[in-house]
């Protein structure tokens, strides 16, 4: 079973544009950059299935697919999961762990992050907000 689309890009865009309009009225607005992980940051992590498997070596893509009933590479987690953190917790409980949203856990996962993970997460229009964020970070590093 593939999860259905639960977010609407048009609604998301209205929210983002309203936030950006507010920032534009601030002093030194050019020094402020806002980026939005639609639903939750964990949606971006779910889009990086191989990252999760590297961060949690006992986790395999087949286990993730079996737990969720879909292949994460076939969906856009930021559009399909209402509570991505709950889905990540479900996956991790399968291997005897849990998603506690701690700094330690986030650092453990991000220490395994590669540019290829982000490329795969954003290909075919998936996780467009992650793509926008990543492009902004890359521009800062140029």
Residue 78 counted as domain residue: yes
List the beta strands (DSSP E) in 28-134: none
Cα radius of gyration (the chain): 16
Where the chain has pLDDT below 50, the residues are: 1-2
Q: What pLDDT is stored for residue 1 in this prediction?
A: 44
Q: Is residue 66 part of a domain?
A: yes
- Whether 4 is in a domain gets the answer no
| CB contact set of 42 (below 8 Å; sequence gap of 6+) | 77, 84, 85, 87, 88, 99
**Is 2 among the domain residues?**
no
In a domain, 79, yes or no: yes
Do the domain assignments include residue 69? Answer: yes
CA distance 121 to 55: 16
Q: pTM of the full predicted structure? A: 0.80
Instruction: Quote the pLDDT of residue 4.
Output: 56
Query: In this structure, is residue 1 part of a structural domain?
Result: no
98 within some domain = yes
CA dist list (Å): 43 to 14, 18, 22, 86: 20, 22, 26, 10
- Taking residue 71's Cβ as centre, other Cβ atoms within 10 Å add up to 13
Residue 139 neighbours by CB distance under 10 Å: 9
The count of domains in the chain is: 1
- Domain range for 48: 9-141
């Amino acid at each position: 079973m593939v999860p259905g689309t639960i977010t609407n890009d048009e609604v998301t865009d209205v929210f983002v544009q309203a936030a950006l309009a507010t920032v534009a009225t601030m002093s030194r607005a050019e020094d402020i950059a806002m980026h939005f992980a639609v639903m939750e940051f964990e949606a971006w992590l779910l889009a990086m299935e191989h990252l999760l498997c590297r961060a949690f070596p006992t986790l395999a893509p087949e286990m993730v697919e079996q737990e969720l009933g879909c292949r994460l590479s076939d969906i856009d987690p930021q559009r399909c999961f209402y509570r991505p953190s709950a889905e990540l917790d479900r996956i991790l409980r399968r291997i005897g762990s849990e998603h506690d949203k701690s700094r330690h856990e986030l650092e453990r996962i991000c220490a395994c992050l590669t540019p290829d993970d982000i490329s795969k997460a954003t290909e075919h229009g998936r996780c467009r907000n992650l793509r926008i964020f990543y492009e902004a970070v890359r521009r800062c590093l140029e």
